[in-house]
Structure 1
Amino acid sequence: MNANELTIADARDALAKGELSAVDLTMACLTAIDAGTPLNAFVHATPEIALDQARAADARRGAGAGSLNGIPLGIKDLFCTRGVASQAASNILRGFKPEYESTVTSKLFEAGAVMLGKLNMDEFAMGSSNETSCYGDAVNPWKVDDRRLTPGGSSGGSAAAVAAGLCLAATGTDTGGSIRQPAAFTGIVGIKPTYGRVSRWGIVAFASSLDQAGPMTKSVRDAAILLGAMAGHDPKDSTSADIPVPDFEAALTGDIRGKKIGIPREYRMEGMPAEIEALWARGREMLADAGAEIVDISLPHTKYALPAYYVIAPAEASSNLARYDGVRYGHRARLGQGDGIVDMYEKTRAEGFGKEVQRRVMIGTYVLSAGFYDAYYNRARKVRALIKRDFDEAFAAGVDAILTPATPSSAFGLGEMADADPVAMYLNDVFTVTVNLAGLPGISVPVGLDAKGLPLGLQLIGRPWDEAGLLNHAHVLERAAGFVEKPRKWW
């Protein structure tokens, strides 16, 4: 096995024993990134920064070294990184190099992590297939025929890079499923923490009441290690919770005897593929065999989640994206004689924003406008409160975690849905958006392959702030499923 294919946990042990240096590990990843160009996962490689950080990690080894000392990571292009292009995969931020570091990347560097570069994503995190990026499509390393498959979105570059072994792990963000759906499509683990567990400061905003950063890793143990480094209170983020961060790795006892796992009847969607249904049934059996009690539950407002999400998220996006006006940073359109400031705004945004971002900004502006605010936005907020209440009632009745499918299908081909009805693409988020609307933690775990040989994942949803318990349930599911398949190297 090449060093770049190691898990964080295994690399940490090899580094501690002196079997491997951080520079060796980083070089193995940089070589893999060079070879992985066809995947289009890394869009701004930072080899000089990576090797400097790796040398510093080797010098620090031993007492006082952080939990990620010498571990090479990929950073989603949504995170601001000082002096390194941070474009949110949008032409409107072309040339933007922040003068500051996001809280998450600062914490990762404090823990000793090495930054290999910035990863591809959907523009402003708006998309489920990584086809809205100004860098072009990211490509799934899994291949079963002559098609290029989507790695999912919006954290598609992160998912492709981790699945292909270009980095040991990556950061992602999740507004409606953007960590969990690509994790499921690429056979890796992705966790969206409770809203407020990880600071949003220095992460380019999409929908501020839904966005949450989290780890994308090769195993549940790695997710626990990386989340421990990312999480924590940040006074710079007013929505960051001042709650202690437990030792997530220590919580992986593998014992879930007597725990109650809820199975929501509303997630049995009409037309659900038989393979997804069978996988879900297998997941229930695996958790029951581990000693958990499986109970049927009802989340009656689930059917309203997708429409409510696609009112609230675009509304917040239209507000957040108003700052991109060509005045202070990023792209500015060339103006003709006699053009005024309104012309500059209009031309800059028309050139800088892609079609999907324009679509969502227009929807959001519409639902917030006078005369429609109560009919759409306020109603969606009320529905959101009812969705949260459904989960609260399930947890109050003693449910410890909820098991659902992660996605309605395995990865589809690039170009197969992009030009179709956008609503068909939005349906990819059907199992994941409820978790964001309720602010809960959710994790996708790879459990098997479909008939074509593509990975499928199951989702576990946890109680608020109980990432430790959620990770332990996921650890049990991962162990029982024994998913070890990797994509066959074609790139």
Structure 2
Amino acid sequence: MSTVDRRDFLARTLAVSAAAATGATAWTTPGSALAAGPARFGAGAYLRPRPEAMADPTELTVAEAAWMIKNGKLTPAALVEAYLDRIGRFDGVYQAFNTVLAEQARAAAKAAGRRKHTGPLHGIPLAIKDNYWTAGVRTTANSYLFQDFMPPRDATAVTRLTANGAIVLGKTQMGPLATTRATTPDGRITTVNAWTPGDATVDPGGSSTGTATSVAGRMAASGTGTQTGGSITAPSNAQNLTGLKPTMGRVSLAGIIPLSYTRDHPGPLARDARDAAIMLTAMAGEDPADPRTQGLPPVPDLVTAATPVTVKGRVRSRWKTRVGVLPGYATSTERRVFLSTLDGVDGISLVDVPLPDEWELLTGTEFNNVRLPERSEPFLPLLRTDLRGFGVSVTGWLQGALLGSTEFLTGQRAKQRLLERVLDQIFDRCDVVVQTGPVPFDILGLPEIGFPIGFSAAGVPVGTILGGEPYGEDRLLSVVAAYQAVTDWHWRRPADPPAQRTRTADDRGRLNADEVVAQMQ
């Protein structure tokens, strides 16, 4: 990444923080028309299916299903029906969806079957997190405040996906206002981890867990999430998925119920790096309704970056890449094996990278909590009148309302200093860096990708996170694609639970942890 790009990103981060402080950008409404035309995808977006995926359409990745549909071997209608069948059989256990748009999806699939092929997302069924606006469909953010909200139009990201041929299967459960794992507004657990459906105490990840469980449980080909504090990378790590949190501004926030304007990042949760690249290619781009998206470097060829390179039978990195390893990373067998495997890929080298100066201080709770006033300020009128609307997360919202301006300003300065040190003291030594968690990259707006690297002794997925420089999603995807070309963790799928009846729109999502466990016994 050039020094010019670093300086531009530093200046942009300062501007976004200043804009957030005014409150003028807290709510961004999508325009009535798509900000840009259909995305351009490379040939790598179509992949001949693996033999083992041919027997079950829901096992096909997006790229494999795209190949099947393009070549007339699978219809969008058949693919949608296969996913609806699994939703009908298993979502009574998984509780991944709060709204299933069965008839709308069937109609869209029939229409797609009659239309000219539009690209790799043509006829592909997706799950949409319930903080993304969907025209004429309730968008609740799993909260009391929005329980009857019916948006007049789609979020920009949803518009981009459907304009590229995707089909919305339904809206997924999430943490109330994106603050916890998926629960009801009063804190009762809804969505379970697809790998441990009989044990609701196993964390399925962050607030995007409805989408993650729907994709891991083969009830959607891919889906959308949002990350403010790990809610794309965490559920990806917990459920054997590949989730990409892009650079701040790569994807428009217009039409997404906000949590933190400076830290909210929409992005995909997918089966592998190639699918994540296809999804982000469609979602990304400039939007007049979101100033964060304007004036950025062009979106690179993400699909090509996520296509593995093989030379004389050996997988190699698309670009020579230095992978930074921070102190304390290799503390588990899975991480050590992962580093050894990655080091064996041609073109990839591991380098030890020290933690930047004052790392513990700048990434600690004291400065991390400055996000709270930013999320509370737009809701102050409601906080003053009826605290019940905030449900189980009310304490955090009150904490934000009570935090002083001095702490907020000090935190913003600390954030800027941390960003400068990450760019100068980490990325002067490496191109990407392995991380033990999403902090501080989601604080700083830098891109990161979560992906599977193995399983624990208990059979639960283990993942890791790779962070990159501003606008460096292509480099991240290239490393993960090379790793996934020499491993098969990402192909593993959870066993199906015993089929349960699908709950209706009225009672879906009102199941507590004890009831989930009781159903499985």
TM class by shorter chain equals 0.7 to 0.9
- Equivalent in the alignment of 1:13: 67
- Equivalent in the alignment of 1:452: 458
Does the 8 Å CA contact 2:324/2:429 hold for their aligned counterparts? no
Aligned length: 429
CA distance in 2, matches of 1:462, 1:281: 20
- Equivalent in the alignment of 2:418: 387
Shift of 1:299: 2.8
Partner of 2:370, secondary structure, is: helix
Percent identical pairs in the alignment equals 30
- Equivalent in the alignment of 1:489: 496
Does the 8 Å CA contact 1:317/1:364 hold for their aligned counterparts? yes
Q: Is 358-367 or 7-16 further displaced after alignment?
A: 358-367
- Equivalent in the alignment of 2:182: 130
| C-alpha distance after superposition, 1:141-185 (max 9, x if no partner) | 112875553311110101100000000001000001100001111
Shift of 1:363: 1.1
Amino acid at match of 2:401: T
For residue 392 of structure 2, the aligned residue among 322, 335, 355 is 355
Structure 2: tracts of 5 or more residues without a match: 1-54, 310-315, 499-521
| C-alpha distance after superposition, 1:317-355 (max 9, x if no partner) | 101333658xxxxxxxxxxxxxxxxxxx52xx3232112
CA distance in 1, matches of 2:96, 2:367: 28
CA distance in 1, matches of 2:197, 2:240: 14
Rate the CA distance shift 1:281–1:390 in 2: closer, same or farther, 3 A: farther
Q: Is 165-174 or 309-318 further displaced after alignment?
A: 309-318
Shift of 1:206: 0.1
- Equivalent in the alignment of 2:374: 316
Structure 1: tracts of 5 or more residues without a match: 269-273, 326-344, 406-430
1:102 and 2:108 are equivalent in the alignment: no
Amino acid at match of 2:223: A
CA distance in 2, matches of 1:464, 1:115: 30
Partner of 1:173, secondary structure, is: strand
- Equivalent in the alignment of 1:409: none
CA distance in 2, matches of 1:323, 1:14: 52
Shift of 1:118: 0.2
- Equivalent in the alignment of 1:373: 405
CA distance in 2, matches of 1:309, 1:75: 32
- Equivalent in the alignment of 1:401: 432
Rate the CA distance shift 1:145–1:4 in 2: closer, same or farther, 3 A: closer
1:247 and 2:301 are equivalent in the alignment: yes
CA distance in 1, matches of 2:494, 2:458: 13
CA distance in 1, matches of 2:202, 2:128: 22
Does the 8 Å CA contact 2:367/2:414 hold for their aligned counterparts? no
Shift of 1:485: 2.1
| C-alpha distance after superposition, 1:290-312 (max 9, x if no partner) | 13121111233442324156422
CA distance in 1, matches of 2:363, 2:183: 24
Relative to the length of structure 1, the TM-score reads 0.83
Rate the CA distance shift 1:231–1:144 in 2: closer, same or farther, 3 A: closer
> What is the root-mean-square deviation in Å for CA atoms of aligned residues?
2.0
| C-alpha distance after superposition, 1:251-307 (max 9, x if no partner) | 234432631111112x54xxxxx9x62222222212211131211112334423241
Shift of 1:37: 1.8
Shift of 1:66: 3.2
Rate the CA distance shift 1:123–1:146 in 2: closer, same or farther, 3 A: closer
Partner of 1:117, secondary structure, is: strand
Does the 8 Å CA contact 1:445/1:478 hold for their aligned counterparts? no
Rate the CA distance shift 1:160–1:298 in 2: closer, same or farther, 3 A: same
- Equivalent in the alignment of 2:482: 476
Rate the CA distance shift 1:295–1:132 in 2: closer, same or farther, 3 A: farther
Partner of 2:145, secondary structure, is: helix
Partner of 2:291, secondary structure, is: coil
- Equivalent in the alignment of 2:355: 299
Rate the CA distance shift 1:148–1:30 in 2: closer, same or farther, 3 A: farther
Shift of 1:386: 2.3
CA distance in 2, matches of 1:146, 1:215: 26
- Equivalent in the alignment of 2:261: 208
Q: Is 245-254 or 155-164 further displaced after alignment?
A: 245-254
1:58 and 2:113 are equivalent in the alignment: yes
Amino acid at match of 2:399: I
Does the 8 Å CA contact 1:263/1:296 hold for their aligned counterparts? yes
Does the 8 Å CA contact 1:309/1:437 hold for their aligned counterparts? no
Shift of 1:196: 0.5
Does the 8 Å CA contact 1:280/1:404 hold for their aligned counterparts? no
Does the 8 Å CA contact 2:189/2:200 hold for their aligned counterparts? no
1:33 and 2:87 are equivalent in the alignment: yes
Partner of 1:359, secondary structure, is: helix
Does the 8 Å CA contact 1:7/1:218 hold for their aligned counterparts? yes
Relative to the length of structure 2, the TM-score reads 0.79
Rate the CA distance shift 1:324–1:99 in 2: closer, same or farther, 3 A: farther
| C-alpha distance after superposition, 1:412-455 (max 9, x if no partner) | xxxxxxxxxxxxxxxxxxx2120112211000010100011100
| C-alpha distance after superposition, 1:361-384 (max 9, x if no partner) | 1111111xxxx321x222222221
Amino acid at match of 1:489: D
CA distance in 2, matches of 1:241, 1:308: 31
